[in-house]
Structure 1
Amino acid sequence: MFESVLVANRGEIAVRVIRALRRFGIRSVAVHSDADADALHVRLADESVRLGPASARESYLSIERVVEAALSTGARAVHPGYGFLAENAEFARACDKAGLVFIGPPAEAIEAMGDKIRAKLTVAAAGVPVVPGRTEVGMTDDDLVDAAGEIGFPVLLKPSAGGGGKGMRLVREPGALRDAIESARREARGSFGDDALLIERFVGNPRHIEIQVLADAHGAVVHLGERECSLQRRHQKIIEEAPSPLLTPPVREAMGRAAVEAARSVGYVGAGTVEFIVDGASGDYFFMEMNTRLQVEHPVTELATGVDLVEQQLRVAAGEHLRLGEVAFTRHAVEARVYAEDPARGFLPTGGTVLALEEPADVRVDSALRVGLTVGSDYDPMLAKVIAAGDTREEALRRLDAALGRVVLLGVTTNIPFLRALLRHPDVRSGALDTGLVERELDRLVEVRRPDEVLAAAALERQLSLRGGDDPWARGDGWRVGEHAWTTWLIDGVPVRVRGDEVSVDGAEPVRLKASVEDGALVVGGRRYAVARSGDVLWLGADGCSWALTETRPSEVAATAAGGAGGPVTSPMPGTVLVVRASAGDEVAAGQPLFVVEAMKMEHTVTAPVAGVLAEVRVQAGDRVALDQPLAVVVPHQE
């Protein structure tokens, strides 16, 4: 076994591999960009090397710098994780040339399976069923049109290079075909530098089933059963499970044999995944592609079979024989991917600083999160994976839903509420899945409006925080001789009136809600909320949900009421303040530029909502700001 391994990746997969290396007593070397200098994978590793600036092209995607880091630290092997350079044949060759063991397949296998046309031709020659279509190299637009006529509509255009759904086009009628070809070529050329296309029959009500394979350098190839990956949005997987509720044992074995033959056809070595599309009506299955690396969803196979795939990768790379014996599913496992994105805003990527974090201890969590971590926009927005197992599928789904409900993650908006809604969908519970389910049911799965009870809790938390101890004259919660006075707060622009334990949201009848702070948590009406604050943004978390609530002070409420459109000026996205164009006390015109905020590599100009006086400026150039964080307060001119 190796004495030292460099992990050429970041985030949760780097953490997962580093922890595996620690179990084997293998010295681990992390690499990082400037953005990840204090990341968890860097903290856990025995040694770390800076690759370069935040840009992936100048850091994690730089073959020269990664190889140099391995050589300078005495690493004997390199584990690529997934993404970045994991399926880069030139990287595998560079490692070999430098005398480093690449913990992955041979470069030739990566190349063979990286080209979809070549891959389909190769596995078809080995007897593996492929989707009916045309996969010749160098097909012209006319060739594709002729092929569509032979196959019959609807058809699917796919780039030969790349993946992730980029460049794919579903064409349902002949009149739309040529425009679709032009569009698909353009996107494929821009994404992969290669506009070669193939054309396939479109499989209706498809299910996405993939088979995990392992192969050693001595000719042994085995499969470890399947994973169901049909729950997707825009061709990106969301929830995966093993085994699939669709497959019977005979079909599982047949697909497993096909996957083994696909791996043998390219001389595969290491861990890989052969992906199939299954016709939901007929049950026919067809080869789609092979991923020549460890998959994001590998933990479900590990929990369902008891086989540690990273351990097997290390053993195979060290030259050992596979010694797995008979592999079978002993449990059912389900994984959910936690992303920094806001489903209520069209799944826009989010960001921010992790202010509070609790991860469930009774299920597996693959994560690189920690309190104080800044989640930016330089890399993929996946933050963590939560994986649960049970003796039955129903138990696994129930345990995963409950575990997601116990996640506390404040400071960064995530997709956890969406994941929980999806897990509870009746078709998911029954196993009636297909790749279009999420898109069809999206409106039912995404809650846009913040519940009134959360707005009430935010106002009550503010009132509790303003109580000034035993001196009644020092209190700021509306206390008066004889009784409390009503205090009005704007919580995310909604007026919330509070008097003692009475609260009224947006003019509704007041209700009594007992509020207290217990063990650092806010308890309102019996519901516990995790609490964190960043400036005037209050974060509340409960049942896996989190809410970033902008609080407007009573004086600002009065300013808003006076002008009808004044009050706080907020940041449209998490980012960095580049420019401040006005100072407190300045007269401003409606629409006047006040700030420039950089977010997601784009500059956003923030303007004054009305004419008035800039009563307060709360940020300066260089400050990082959260989504909807107040930047300034405009007091409108009185008419």
Structure 2
Amino acid sequence: MFSTVLVANRGEIAVRVIRTLRELGVRSVAVFSDADADARHVREADTAVRIGPAAAAESYLSVERLLDAARRSGAEAIHPGYGFLAENAGFAQACAEAGLAFIGPPAKAISLMGDKIRAKETVKAAGVPVVPGSSGSGLSDAELVAAAEEIGMPVLLKPSAGGGGKGMRLVRDAGLLAEEIAAARREARSSFGDDTLLVERWVDRPRHIEIQVLADSYGNVVHLGERECSLQRRHQKVIEEAPSVLLTPELRASMGAAAVEAARSCGYVGAGTVEFIVPGGDPSSYYFMEMNTRLQVEHPVTELITGLDLVEQQLRVASGAELGFGQADVTLTGHAVEARVCAEDPARGFLPSGGTVLALSEPSGGSVRTDSGLVAGVDTGSTYDPMLSKVIAYGPDRATALRILRGALADTVILGVQTNTGFLRRLLAHPDVVSGNLDTGLVERDLSTLLPEGVPPEVFAAAALLAAHRPALPSPSGNWVDPFGAGDGWRLGGTPAWTVHHFRLPGQEPVSVRSRPSGAETELLLAEGSGAPARGRIVSRVEDRVTVELDGVTHTFSHARSPEGTWLGRDGDSWHVQAHDPVTAALSGRGHAGAETLAAPMPGTVTVVKVAVGDKVTAGQSLLVVEAMKMEHVISAPHSGTVAELDVSPGTTVAMDQVLAVVTPDEPRGEEEEGK
């Protein structure tokens, strides 16, 4: 076994690898960019080395800087985690040439399976069924269009060099092929540095089943059963579980054997995953999609049902050991389900979010495991992937595991950053998810039922109560408390006055809540349509939790304050309630909600600007592209008109709700002018 291993990654996977290294008594070396100087993986490693500025290209994607960090720290091996350079054949080869063990497959296997076109041809020759699609590498846009028309719509555009859903586009309308190919190439180039695409037949209502394989350098290859990854949004996995309710023992053995042959066909060594697409109506007609030559995000569910530590197996194989067990020794016990917690806002179309983690509570122990890279006080930013953590539950059966996971997500508190935790709880309770009737289109099909139904009135009530119960401000001398510093409606004589609290949530219209003392309680006039009036009080406040009683019903919130307002969270959902000054907004002459104003829907970077001041535009015309966490968002003209202001250029970093441009609408023509 190695004595020192450098982890060439960040976030939750770096923390997870460091945990196994610690258990094995292996010294861990973390690397970090300037954006991650105070990150959790840096704190937990035995040694940490700075490798550059925040931009991934100058830090986590720099082979030279990573190798230099390994040399300076005395590392004997490098674990790439997943993402960044984990499937980069050049990096694996550079490690070998530098005398470092790459904890992954040989460079030749990465190169072969990393090219989806060559991978399909290779496994097809080994007898593994593949999805019908284009053939040949380096196809031009015109050749891709021709291939799609030959296959027949709908088709799926896929980057040849990458995975994880990045750059994938489902195209049902042939007229949109050119535009979608251009967008897919942009995203593929940004994510993988290679914009080569292929096109495949789209299988309607498919299931996504993947097989975990392990191989050593002595020719031993085994599979560890399957994972069901059919719950996806925009081709990104959301919930994963093991085993799948779809597979019979016979089908599991058949797909497992196909996965082993796929691994053998490329001379694979280490932990890898062979992914299959399975028609829901005919599971026996499965097709090879791709092989991921690395550890998968969802590997914990396999660990929980097999009792194997996959990172430990990677380390042992990379150090020259045999697997030590055969296929007959692999047993699957119980059921495990994993949910990916991401920095995104479901209420705003799952746009990436970012911010400082103000309060954090993550469940663990017993039947729950949380793999996380979070720590309170750290800024998550919008530079890297949006996944923050993974919550995994284990049970003797599927129903128990699902129930435990829903409860664990309800106990997950991440305030200061908008997350998808509430959405995940609703998805896990979906009738088809509970019954196991899954396919990759389920989430998109039923998305409207999985989103929050507005802001519950008790959220605004809690915000108003917290504001009304702030302590009075002490005088500068500190000798007495100024009663006029309290926002509680106190008067020198008579009935307490109503105190008006103006609130807004990002992307929503402002609301007003009135409060005034009424004995031991506070009388509230909530926003119109939210059940006003009401009476409430703060029952208890312990650290970052507050219990609020509203009309006889108690609600316990996690809460934290930030310069912009108050974060409130309950049952996995969270709300950023911001103070709103209507006078200031009116004086500014141009609020966020203005019809002429185009604001950033998420924190990120402007990558494309297609117009200039003075340009005439039409309604729906794309004007700018904002990218955050490897996701593109097109900003379109809300109406026909003229670009009056343009406040950004390519490369500009923007905050959520920051003004990007102003489009003045065309003046409507009068009847007399129309008649000319």
Per the TM superposition, whether the score is higher than 0.5 is: yes
Question: Which residue does the alignment assign to 2:487?
Answer: 476
Q: How does 1:441-456 map to 2 (within 5 A)?
A: 441-447=446-452, 449-456=454-461
CA distance in 1, matches of 2:158, 2:452: 33
Aligned pair in 2 of structure 1 residues 149, 549: CA closer, same or farther (>3 Å)?
closer
Question: Which residue does the alignment assign to 2:356?
Answer: 353
Aligned pair in 2 of structure 1 residues 247, 77: CA closer, same or farther (>3 Å)?
same
Q: Which moved more, 1:500-509 or 1:24-33?
A: 500-509
Unpaired stretches in structure 2, ≥5 consecutive residues = 475-479, 505-509, 605-625, 633-652, 659-676
Cα shift at 1:307: 0.8
CA distance in 1, matches of 2:501, 2:184: 54
Q: Is the 8 A contact 1:352 1:574 kept in 2?
A: no
Any idea what the Cα deviations from partners look like across 1:382-404, whole Å, max 9, x if unmatched? 11110011111111111111101
Any idea what the Cα deviations from partners look like across 1:174-204, whole Å, max 9, x if unmatched? x649747964785477455655544433212
Q: Is the 8 A contact 2:145 2:178 kept in 1?
A: no
Cα shift at 1:349: 1.1
Q: How does 1:360-399 map to 2 (within 5 A)?
A: 360-362=363-365, 363-399=368-404
2:542 matches 1:519: yes
3-state DSSP of counterpart to 2:449: helix
Q: Which moved more, 1:459-468 or 1:175-184?
A: 175-184
CA distance in 1, matches of 2:435, 2:341: 23
Aligned pair in 2 of structure 1 residues 455, 149: CA closer, same or farther (>3 Å)?
closer
3-state DSSP of counterpart to 2:219: coil
CA distance in 2, matches of 1:97, 1:213: 27
Question: Which residue does the alignment assign to 1:297?
Answer: 298
Name the aligned partner's letter for residue 369 of structure 1. Answer: L
Question: Which residue does the alignment assign to 2:671?
Answer: none
Question: Which residue does the alignment assign to 1:318?
Answer: 319
Any idea what the Cα deviations from partners look like across 1:46-83, whole Å, max 9, x if unmatched? 11111011110010100011011111111111100001
Q: Which moved more, 1:62-71 or 1:445-454?
A: 445-454
Q: Is the 8 A contact 2:490 2:497 kept in 1?
A: yes
Any idea what the Cα deviations from partners look like across 1:68-114, whole Å, max 9, x if unmatched? 11111111111000011100111111110111000000000001101
Aligned pair in 2 of structure 1 residues 524, 105: CA closer, same or farther (>3 Å)?
same
2:71 matches 1:68: no
Name the aligned partner's letter for residue 500 of structure 2. Answer: T
3-state DSSP of counterpart to 1:439: helix
2:366 matches 1:342: no
CA distance in 2, matches of 1:352, 1:562: 27
2:488 matches 1:488: no
Cα shift at 1:485: 2.4
3-state DSSP of counterpart to 1:352: coil
CA distance in 2, matches of 1:102, 1:458: 52
Q: Which moved more, 1:509-518 or 1:334-343?
A: 509-518
CA distance in 1, matches of 2:426, 2:383: 29
Cα shift at 1:158: 3.4
Aligned pair in 2 of structure 1 residues 85, 488: CA closer, same or farther (>3 Å)?
same
Question: Which residue does the alignment assign to 1:537?
Answer: 565
CA distance in 1, matches of 2:198, 2:586: 63
Name the aligned partner's letter for residue 371 of structure 1. Answer: A
Any idea what the Cα deviations from partners look like across 1:574-593, whole Å, max 9, x if unmatched? 869xxxxxxxxxxxxxxxxx
Aligned pair in 2 of structure 1 residues 249, 496: CA closer, same or farther (>3 Å)?
same
Unpaired stretches in structure 1, ≥5 consecutive residues = 577-597, 603-623, 630-639
Any idea what the Cα deviations from partners look like across 1:501-536, whole Å, max 9, x if unmatched? 211112454212232333232211211111211125
Question: Which residue does the alignment assign to 1:528?
Answer: 556
- What TM-score do the two structures reach when normalised by structure 2? 0.80
Q: Which moved more, 1:8-17 or 1:162-171?
A: 162-171
Aligned pair in 2 of structure 1 residues 496, 517: CA closer, same or farther (>3 Å)?
same
Question: Which residue does the alignment assign to 2:421?
Answer: 416
Aligned pair in 2 of structure 1 residues 199, 354: CA closer, same or farther (>3 Å)?
closer
Cα shift at 1:161: 2.8
Q: Is the 8 A contact 1:339 1:414 kept in 2?
A: yes
Name the aligned partner's letter for residue 285 of structure 1. Answer: Y
Q: How does 1:107-256 map to 2 (within 5 A)?
A: 107-137=107-137, 151-172=151-172, 176=175, 179=178, 183=182, 186-187=185-186, 190-191=189-190, 196-256=196-256
Question: Which residue does the alignment assign to 1:438?
Answer: 443
CA distance in 2, matches of 1:222, 1:524: 55
Q: Is the 8 A contact 2:157 2:181 kept in 1?
A: no
Question: Which residue does the alignment assign to 2:615?
Answer: none
Q: Which moved more, 1:428-437 or 1:143-152?
A: 143-152
Name the aligned partner's letter for residue 414 of structure 2. Answer: L
Question: Which residue does the alignment assign to 2:462?
Answer: 457
Name the aligned partner's letter for residue 346 of structure 1. Answer: G
3-state DSSP of counterpart to 1:133: coil
Question: Which residue does the alignment assign to 1:82?
Answer: 82
3-state DSSP of counterpart to 2:418: coil
3-state DSSP of counterpart to 1:374: coil
Q: Is the 8 A contact 2:526 2:534 kept in 1?
A: no
Name the aligned partner's letter for residue 413 of structure 2. Answer: V
Name the aligned partner's letter for residue 390 of structure 2. Answer: K
CA distance in 1, matches of 2:100, 2:241: 34
Indicate the RMSD between aligned Cα atoms, in angstroms.
3.2
Name the aligned partner's letter for residue 59 of structure 1. Answer: S
Equivalent residue in structure 2 for 1:332, among 316, 322, 335: 335
Question: Which residue does the alignment assign to 1:270?
Answer: 270
CA distance in 1, matches of 2:220, 2:443: 38
Q: Is the 8 A contact 2:166 2:188 kept in 1?
A: no
Question: Which residue does the alignment assign to 1:619?
Answer: none
CA distance in 1, matches of 2:69, 2:356: 29
Q: Is the 8 A contact 2:154 2:170 kept in 1?
A: yes
3-state DSSP of counterpart to 2:470: helix
Q: Is the 8 A contact 2:352 2:603 kept in 1?
A: no
3-state DSSP of counterpart to 1:254: helix
2:579 matches 1:551: yes
Cα shift at 1:625: 11
Aligned pair in 2 of structure 1 residues 567, 542: CA closer, same or farther (>3 Å)?
same
Name the aligned partner's letter for residue 113 of structure 2. Answer: M
Q: Is the 8 A contact 1:169 1:180 kept in 2?
A: no
3-state DSSP of counterpart to 1:489: strand
Number of residue equivalences? 584
Question: Which residue does the alignment assign to 1:402?
Answer: 407
CA distance in 2, matches of 1:10, 1:116: 26
Any idea what the Cα deviations from partners look like across 1:415-470, whole Å, max 9, x if unmatched? 11111111111111111111111111111111262221100110011111145799
CA distance in 2, matches of 1:193, 1:10: 20
Q: Is the 8 A contact 2:360 2:415 kept in 1?
A: yes
Name the aligned partner's letter for residue 358 of structure 1. Answer: S
Name the aligned partner's letter for residue 69 of structure 1. Answer: A
CA distance in 1, matches of 2:600, 2:142: 47
Query: Percent same amino acid at aligned positions?
Result: 62
CA distance in 1, matches of 2:143, 2:373: 48
